[in-house]
Amino acid sequence: YAALGKERRKARKTLAPFAEGCVKLSARFCCPQTVREVDYLNYLRKKGVTASFMPKYLGSLSSPSYVGLAVEAILPTEDRKVWLLGTYLAEIKDADESVWKRLEDALRATKREMHEKGVVVSDIGTANMFIVEERGVLRPVIFDGYYIPEHIPTAKYIPWFRKLKINRQWAKPRDV
């Protein structure tokens, strides 16, 4: 558990409901991104928004020193392979065109679903996305960056700004 001293026992109790998930903790005094992410994920949950590219949001947690969120853990199993996008790209670099087309189709479907569901991810990159393969089907899973960084989050409430934000994020190649 990522807690110090006296808070270790409290952290175990706080994290217990999220034992099957992945917990992101940030120091309370320097965590505006995590606070925004919790706020946005709670907003999406309240609106009933789910998407194939989003890990299930399990909830938020806080202590006097930390604030955090928990999401479904995306782990490999006998029937499921999981790669970071960057690792997957390195693995398929010499593959034939059909492998690249399959990945491109999966990524395009993810972008389309983001527009349909109105979900903004502010940090799309190879280090924030898994490629999950189950039963021969590729599915991108974006596990970080669910927040709108602006002080006045127009993209959260106005579809036109949301569309611009989504398109801008997909136009910025990162970590490649």
> CB of 141 within 8 A of CB of 85?
no
Averaged pLDDT of the chain: 84
Tokens matching residue 118 = 């109105």
Which of 114, 174, 111, 122 is closest to 145 using CA atoms?
122
**DSSP letter at 120?**
-
pTM of the model: 0.81
Q: What is the pLDDT of residues 164-173, one digit of tens each?
A: 888 878 886 5
What confidence category does residue 44 fall into, taking pLDDT thresholds of 50, 70 and 90?
very high
The model's pLDDT over 59-96, given as tens digits with 9 standing for 90+, comes to 998 888 888 888 998 999 999 999 999 999 999 999 99
Contacting residues for 92 by C-beta, under 8 A, at least 6 apart: 99, 100, 103
Q: Judge contact between 145 and 129, C-beta under 8 A.
A: no
Q: Write out the DSSP string of 32-53.
A: HHHHHHHHHHHHHHHTT---TT
Give the model confidence (pLDDT) of 101-135 as tens digits. Answer: 999 999 999 999 999 999 999 888 888 899 999 99
Instruction: Give residue 167's pLDDT.
Output: 82
